[in-house]
Chain A
Amino acid sequence: MERIPILKMGEFLLVTIQVDMHDRLALTLQDDLTGQIVKHRAHGVLIDISALEIVDSFIGRMLASIASMAHLLDAETVVVGMQPAVAITLVELGLPMRGIRTALDVEKGMTALRTAILEGQDGDSSSIR
C-alpha cells in the first residue's frame, strides 16, 4: 500500500508530502502520524507541503485534524512551505485554516516548533490558535 514517509529528525517528525494525494492516502497519513508521535514521543511535527500544487477543503481539513490530534498527544504541528497560489486560493475557497501554525520553510518551522513547545512547557496549553 502506498504511504507517505514520516522521518524522525531529532525530537521532531518530518512529513514531506510530494504526491498529489488521493483521499485515502491522506487518511492513512493521519493514522500513521499519530502512531509515530506516540512511538517516538515526538513533541513536534513538521509537515512540508511545498510540493503540493493545491490544497482543497479535504486536505485542509486533514491538516487541521492532524494538528488537533497531535496537540492531544502533546505534540505541536507546523505546516511549512505553502505556495503563494495555494494560499490565495485557500482564502477564496473560504477555508480559514485557523488552528494551524505555518512557516515559510522547514528551518523557520523548526524555530516555530521550539517556541511552541517552550510556550507549552510554560503552562500555556492553548498553544494551537
Chain B
Amino acid sequence: MNWSTISEVLISAVRMATPLLFVALAELFSERAGLVNIGLDGLMSFGALVGFLVCYWTGNPFLGVLCGALGGVLVNMIYAFCTVTLGAQQIVYGMAINIFAPALASFIYRIVFGVSSTLAQATLMKTVAIPVLKDIPFIGKLLFDQTPMVYGVYLLVIVTAIYFNRTKSGLNYKAVGEYPKAAETMGINVVLHKYVACMICGFLAGMGGAYLTTCYVNTYSDGIVAGRGFIALAAVIFGRWSSSGVLIACLLFGFFDALQLRLQVGTDLIPYQLFQMIPYVMTLVALTIFGSRISGPKSNGKPYFREER
C-alpha cells in the first residue's frame, strides 16, 4: 500500500465517520438527559428518505439535510411522548422506532416512485475547499476539502464539549441525566429538558441519515443505514460519554469502514463479505477491550415520574 492509497483511505475515513459522528452526538445529547435511544437506525433511515426526496425535488442538498433533520425530530417525538410522558420502557420504544421508521420510509419511497421503478438519483452536495488551508500537503486534502457537513460536525463536537463542560446550562442538562430528582428540587424543569434532548437527538440523527443520501450516495434504498445507528451507540459507550471521546471512536469506526471498502477493491482471493464484516467485528473488539463496565449518566434508561417518592 503506497502513500496515495493511505491518504485516499484516510479521506474516505473522514467521510465515513461524519454520519456516525452526527448520530453519536445525537445519542450523547439523549443519554446525557437520561434517555437511551436505540431507535437511531430508524431515525436515520427516515432522515435519509426525507433528505433524499427534498434534494430530488428541489435539487438543493442543504434543504434536504434540513428537512431530513426535521423529519428525525418528528419521528423522535413519538419516542419522547411515550418514554417521558407515559414512562414506557426506553429500549422497547427505541425498538418500536427501529421497526416503524424504516417501514414508513420504504412505504413513502414506493408511493412516490412506484412499486417497481428505475433508480431515482438526486444531486450530491459539493465539496467546499477552504482556500490556503487546503494547500497544506496531506492534511489539506484530508481536512479542508470536504463537504460543509463535515466542517459542521467538527464544529458541533467543539460546541458540545464547551456546552457540557463550561456552561451552567450544560451542567443543568447533565444533572437531569445523573439525578433528576435533585435537579427538579433545584428548579430545573426535567421534563422540558428531556423533550429538548429528544428534539436535538432527532434533529442530529435525521441529519446523519440525510448525509447518507445527500453527500455519500445519490440514491435511496432500503437498508441504506446498515446498522450505523448501532455502531454510533457503541461509539458513545466507547467514547465514554464525552464529545472528544465520541469523536475518536467515530473516526476509528469510520476508518474501519473506509478500510473494508478499499480492501474489497484490492483482492479477488478473499471473499468480499469477510471485508464487509470488519466494521462490525472491530466494533465488537473495540468494545470488548475498552468499553467494559464504564457506567454512563446515573439515571440513564430509567423513567422519571415527578410524583414518585
Partners in one complex: no
